Amino acid sequence: MSLNRSEKEAVISDVTSLAAKAQTLVMAEYRGITVASMDKLRVTARSNGVSLSVLKNTLVRRAVAGSAFEVAADQMTGPLIYGFSEDAVAAAKVVAEFAKTNDKLVIRGGVYGGKVLDIEGVKQLASIPSREVLLAQVCGLLMSPMARTAVVLGALAAKKAESEAASEAPADAEAPAAPDAPAAEEAPAA
């Protein structure tokens, strides 16, 4: 279906705004994918914060002109689906995971940080844990020395309390009888 001039300008404007916010662009060929499979992919993409669209290549080339994604303009040929994401790995992860289960979706390439990614580059980007997982790992690394210090200090406190309890126990056994106890009668001196 042909778009009129105002519709083309709207598409270019939308893609330009997506490209301005996005860190990653992933392109994949979608020949032969069923509508049901494509809907499943779109739902997965949406839930992961990825904008996934089938767009005219000429419009995308115009929209990304002057952006970090312009470097992939020569790869924008054929029937492509474009995935933009603000999260650095989300688009690559969604497309790569779907491509594992559906051989009709063929990853063509992508862009991250102004650099063109080939198929292997997109797969490597997809293998990186998400931002939340990386932050959790960093927090775990930062907390590890503190947790170890707390364990050592707890063990030292327990050992000190144990040694104090041991030193008090013999002292109680050798203590003189209390003054309230009846005194033993002394034998008369001869």
pLDDT score of 174: 54
Instruction: pLDDT band for 96, please (50, 70, 90 cuts).
Output: very high
Q: pLDDT (tens digit, 9 = 90+) per residue, 165-188?
A: 888 766 555 555 555 555 555 555
Residue 80 token pair? 């492509």
- DSSP structure class, residue 28: E
Domain ranges of the chain: 5-128, 130-167
23: closest CA among 54, 49, 61? 49
pLDDT score of 185: 54
pLDDT score of 46: 92
CA gap 92, 84 in Å, rounded: 9
Contact 131, 87 (CB under 8 A): yes
Q: Compute the mean pLDDT over every residue in the chain, rounded to the nearest whole number.
A: 84
The number of beta carbons lying within 10 Å of the beta carbon of residue 97 is: 14
Q: pLDDT (tens digit, 9 = 90+) per residue, 60-82?
A: 999 988 888 989 888 898 899 99
**Residue 59 CA, distance from chain mean position:** 32
Residues in the chain: 190
pLDDT score of 28: 93
CA gap 84, 91 in Å, rounded: 6
Contact 96, 122 (CB under 8 A): yes
67: closest CA among 8, 27, 24, 5? 24
Contact 107, 26 (CB under 8 A): yes
Largest CA distance in the chain: 135
Q: Which residues contact 104 (CB under 8 A, 6 or more apart)?
A: 30, 31, 32, 33, 37
pLDDT > 80? residue 2: no
pLDDT, greater one: 21 or 167: 21
pLDDT score of 82: 93
What number does CATH give the domain 5-128? 3.30.70.1730
The number of beta carbons lying within 10 Å of the beta carbon of residue 23 is: 16
With a threshold of 0.85, does the pTM exceed it?
no
116: burial class by Cβ within 10 Å (0-12, 13-18, 19+)? middle
Q: Which residue is it, tokens 């040694």?
A: 163
Instruction: pLDDT band for 163, please (50, 70, 90 cuts).
Output: confident
- In this structure, of 55-64, 84-93, 127-136, the range with the lowest mean pLDDT score is 127-136
Instruction: pLDDT band for 142, please (50, 70, 90 cuts).
Output: confident
Q: pLDDT (tens digit, 9 = 90+) per residue, 98-129?
A: 999 888 889 999 999 889 999 898 888 888 88
